[in-house]
Amino acid sequence: MPNLIRSELHALGLRKDRATFSHSVRVGLLAQAAARLLGMPEDEERMFTAACSFHDIGKVLVPRELLVKRLPLDEAERELIRRHPLFGVRVVRRLGWRDPRMIATVRSHHERWDGTGYPDGLRGEGIPQWARLCAVFDSFDAMVQARAYNRVKTTAEAADELRRQSGLQFDPASVELFLSIPEIAIEKIRRYR
């Protein structure tokens, strides 16, 4: 992953939340591995990696205490966190990123294949392709890392969950692409702190 992306993530304030920073880097590394499997041209690989790395950048505008809260969130707190994709679009635009695929990935990475996601309730192929892929990388990493709200899953358990949610939460083709990334690469990325 280009150092410029890591530097930009750091400069934007994700350094004060090391978990979100590390998560963003790991999601970007998974995107880079997938881009290479897809044979993306170098410039497209860079943009896809950046888009996935910046997927949670809107969290810089969410109070940190909500991001690490262990108790259940109330409705207002949940709604504020659910706005981070919209906040993220504002941040990446302010940074000068104009590629529509970047904007769409940041905005739509929490959309679900079955249409029950947010912020727009998009469904199926109406969800931008890069966002569909990013959603799989994002969810996988959330499952295999320690979080205040879940038990850490093994790589195999997380892969099984992706398979179970294929066609519901996730685009089946995106799940299959993720599952084709060599396990050794996934394990190396998983260990990034």
Kindly name the residue from 59, 69, 153, 188 that is annotated as catalytic: 59
* 193 has a pLDDT exceeding 90: no
Q: Give the distance between the most distant pair of CA atoms in the chain.
A: 44
Name which of 30-34, 46-50, 69-73, 97-101 the model is least confident about: 69-73
Architecture of the domain defined by 3-190: Orthogonal Bundle (1.10)
Is 15's pLDDT higher than 70? no
Which of 65-69, 100-104, 180-184 shows the lowest per-residue confidence on average (mean pLDDT)?
A: 65-69
**Has 153 been annotated as catalytic?**
no
For the chain, the structural domain boundaries read 3-190
pTM, rounded to two decimals: 0.93
